[in-house]
Structure 1
Amino acid sequence: MKQTELTITDYNLKDTVEHGSEEFPIQYYVDELYCYSKQMIPLHWHSDLEFYLAYGGPIQIQIGKTIIDLIEGDAIFINANVLHSFQQINFQDKCQCPNIVFSHEMIAPSYSIIYKKFIQCIILNTELPYFVLHQDCQWQQDILLMLDKLFSILQKYGLVPSYYGEYPTLPFQNEDIEIVCYEMEIQSILNKIWQLIYLHLEDIPKVSIKHNKHILQVRTQKMLQFIHDHYSLPISLQDIACAADISKSEAARCFQSYLHDSPVHYLLNYRLKQAKQALQKSEDPIVEIAEKCGFQSASYFGKIFHREMGMTATEYRFKNHK
C-alpha cells in the first residue's frame, strides 16, 4: 500500500489545518493511521482542544516527551497548545481513529462567566496537558458514550470538506441517530462532557510539567525554523545549534527527545522532501532542483535520493509528476 505523507504543520510544528469554521469551530476526523507514512500523524500542536479515540487496535501517543499507550476503546483528551503525535502500535492493524478538534468557543465564549468559572481553569492548567478516558471507570465511560453519540452525529450530519479528504464510515453505537438541530445537539453534548470533566477534576491525575521541558520545546522549534528557512544553504550542525544558542550535543538531545531523529538527518530528509515536491510540481532541471534544495552537487543528490527512495530522481518524477 502506498502510504500518505502528511504535511500539516508550519516551521514550529503548529498545525496549519483549519478545524471547522469560525461559525461552527469543530471538526470531525477519522485518522486512518495505517495509511500514513510510518503509520503515524507526526508531532504537532494547535490552540484547539481534542478528543481522540483508539479504534482498530492499540495506539501510541506522544505528549511532549511522554509516551502513552492507548488500548482500543479508550480515548484521550489533549489540551490546547500541547505538542502531540499519534501512531498505531501493531503494523498489521488498520487503525481508523475518530476524533474531534474544537475551540472552547463551542462550549462558551471567552468573555462569559461559564468560561471564567469552568473552562479557563482546565485549558490554562499546565498540570493538565492530557488525560486518558478509560472504559473501566464509570464517569469516564459516560464521556466515552457521549463521544460515541457526538461522533455519530458528526459522521451523519456534520461532514465538511477537510484536508484529509473523505472518511470511512464507522459503526458507532448511535450511527442510526436522527437529529433535527444537530449543531445544538453537538453543543449540548460538549457541555455535558465538560461538566463531567469539571466535576471530576480532583480525580484526574495531574502531570508535573518541568520548566526544562518547555525550554527543550522552544529550542527545538527555533532550530526547526532555522532549518526550514535556510535548508537551501550549506548548513552544519553547529549552525543549527547556534539558532537556539546551545551546544551541538544539546541540539542533538532536543531533536532526539521530540523528533527521535538527529538534526543532520532531519535536515537531509527535509531537503529530500522539498526536492520531491519540486520534482512533482515543476519542470526545473534536476541539477537545478538539487542546488535549490541545498545539495552540494547533483551527483551527491542522485546518490542520496536513490538510497532513500529506492529509485532515481528521474524515475520519481516520471511516476509522480502532476
Structure 2
Amino acid sequence: MENKLHILNGYTDELFPVNICVVRKYSDLPIGSGFKSLHWHEDLQFVLCTKGYVNYQVNGIEYKLKEKEALFINKGALHMSNDMSEDGEYVTLTFPEELLFFFKESRMKYKYVWPYTRMDFLRCYEIKEENEIISYLYDIYNIYLNGSDMFEYDVSILITMIWRDLVKSLSKIDFIPNKKDVERQERVQVMLVYIHTHYADELSLKDIADAGMMSIAQCNRCFNKMLNVTPYEYLIQYRLQKATNLLKDATLNVTEISEIVGFNNVTHFIQAFKKVYGISPKKYRMMEDQDEKGS
C-alpha cells in the first residue's frame, strides 16, 4: 500500500524542481496540496500567509500565522495546516536543498546549507512582518500569479536571497539540541507510517505502540506531545480523511466505504464523520457533487 505520509514531491517540471501551491480552506491549487494533511518530506518549505490567518502544526507545536507572516519548515519535520479563517489563504514554496548548492560539491553546500538543513533540533523558524524574506516570498507569489519571461531564473534568484537572509538570522541563534525530542519525532513517524499502511485493519493501541517499539503509555505520551491527539483519535481522523476521498466515487455506498476505511460499524462511522465534518457522509457527498457541477 502506498505511504501517503512521507511525501516524495512530484515536481511538475523535473528540470526545475520548485512547487508553488496556493491553499484556501475549501480549495487548493494544485488539488490535494494540503489542508489538514499531516506529512513530512525531504524538501525545504516556506509557508506565507496571504489572507486571514492559518494555524500550522510542526512536530506538535502550534504556530498561528497572520497575513504577511511566514514559516520555514525544515526537511523531515512533521507538519500540517490544521485551521484557517474562512477567508484564509496561504502559499507554500517547496524545493530540494540541492537548489541552493549551485553545483554538487560547492562551498555553499557545506558552509551555508547542510549546517542548517541537518540540524535535527531546527524544525522550523517563524518569520514576522517587516522582514525582507516576506517581501521575496510575495515576489515569488506574484510571479506565480502573473508569470515571468524568465520564470526559472527569477524564482531561483529570489529563493537564493531568501535562504541568504534566513541563514543570517539563524547564525545569530544558539541552538540547544534536545535528543529526546528528536527520538520522539522518529518514533512517532514510524508509528504514523504504520497507521497509514494498516488503517483499514483492526488496529489496537498495542499494535501501534509495538510499531514504535514502546509501551502503550509511552505511545500515548508521544502522540499527545507531538500531535496533540491520542493514537486512536489520529487513527479515526485518518480513516475519515480516506473516506472523504472515497465519497467522490458514486459507485460505493456509505456502508461499503465505512468498511473499506476500517470501521466495523456504519453507525459509528456516520457519528464520527458528523463529529469531525459537521455533516453526514451522504450530505458531504451531495455537496461535493454540487461543487463539481458548479466548477
State the distance in 1 between where 2:92 and 2:240 align.
31
Matched with 2:53 is 58
Question: What is the 5 A alignment of 1:280-291?
Answer: 280-281=248-249, 283=251, 290-291=258-259
> In structure 2, what is the Cα distance between the partners aligned to 1:124 and 1:257?
23
Note if 1:252 corresponds to 2:244.
no
| Residue 237 of structure 1, aligned match among 202, 205, 220 | 205
SS of 1:52's equivalent?
strand
- Kindly provide the amino acid, as one letter, of the partner of residue 99 in structure 1: T
Paired amino acid for 1:189: L
AA paired with 1:190? I
* Offset, 1:248: 1.4
Give structure 1 stretches of 5+ with no counterpart. 1-9, 158-178
Of 104, 128, 133, the match for 2:97: 104
Counterpart-to-counterpart distance in 1, 2:285 and 2:65: 39
Letter paired with 2:204: S
Alpha-carbon deviations, 1:39-73, whole Å to 9, x = none?
94333211111221122223332221322233321
RMSD: 3.3
Distance 2:288 2:157 in 1: 46
* Distance apart, 1:118 and its partner CA: 2.2
Alignment of 1:180-195 (within 5 A): 180-195=149-164
1:107-122 equivalences under 5 Å are 107=100, 108-122=102-116
Distance change >3 Å, CA 19–CA 81, structure 1 → 2: farther
With over 3 angstroms needed to count, the CA separation of the structure-2 counterparts of 1:149 and 1:319, relative to structure 1, is closer
Structure 1 residues 207 and 19, CA, compared in 2 at 3 Å: closer, same or farther? farther
The amino acid across from 1:197 in the alignment is L
Amino acid in structure 1 at the alignment position of 2:171: E
- 1:205-244 aligned at under 5 Å gives the runs 205-244=173-212
Q: Which moved more, 1:270-279 or 1:65-74?
A: 270-279
Partner of 2:138: 148
Give the aligned residue type for 1:246.
M
* Offset at residue 32 of structure 1 (A): 0.9
Instruction: Tell me what 1:85 maps to.
Output: 80
Task: Output the CA distance in 2 between the equivalents of 1:53 and 1:221.
Answer: 25
Deviations 1:66-114 (A, max 9, x none): 222333212222222222222445x4x4111123111223332432233
Q: Report the counterpart of residue 133 of structure 1 in structure 2.
A: 127
Query: Which ranges in structure 2 are unaligned for 5 or more consecutive residues?
Result: none
Q: Distance in 2 between matches of 1:98 and 1:284?
A: 34
| Aligned match of 2:272 | 308
Q: 1:42 aligns to what?
A: 37
In the aligned structure 2, how far is the partner of 1:265 from the partner of 1:231? Answer: 12
Native 8 Å contact 1:128 1:206 kept in 2: no
Q: Distance in 2 between matches of 1:193 and 1:222?
A: 32
Change (3 A) 1:317 1:83: closer
* CA spacing shift, 1:133–1:315, aligned 2, 3 Å: closer
1:196 is aligned, of 129, 141, 165, to 165
- In the TM superposition, residue 25 of structure 1 has moved relative to its aligned partner by 1.0
Contact 2:258 2:269 in 1 (8 A): no
Tell me, yes or no, if the aligned pair for 1:305 and 1:312 is still in contact at 8 Å.
Answer: no
Task: Determine helix, strand or coil for the equivalent of 2:161.
Answer: helix
Q: TM-score, normalised by structure 2?
A: 0.78
User: Whole-Å Cα distance in 2 between the matches of residues 151 and 285 of structure 1?
Assistant: 41
AA matched with 1:130: C
State the distance in 2 between where 1:123 and 1:133 align.
Answer: 17
Aligned-residue offset at 1:35: 5.1
The answer to whether the Cα contact below 8 Å between 2:24 and 2:88 also exists between their aligned partners in 1 is yes
Q: C-alpha distance in 2, partners of 1:49/1:74?
A: 17
**Greater Rg by CA:** 1
1:99–1:206 CA distance, 2 compared to 1 (3 A)? farther
In structure 2, the CA distance between the partners of 1:183 and 1:239, relative to structure 1 (3 Å rule), is closer
Is contact 1:11-1:224 (8 Å) kept? no
Give me the whole-angstrom Cα distance separating, in 1, the residues matched to 2:26 and 2:283.
26
Q: Percent identity?
A: 26
**Aligned counterpart, 1:28:** 20
Q: Return the TM-score normalized by structure 1.
A: 0.72
Given that 1:24 and 1:106 are in contact with CA atoms closer than 8 Å, whether structure 2 keeps it comes out as no
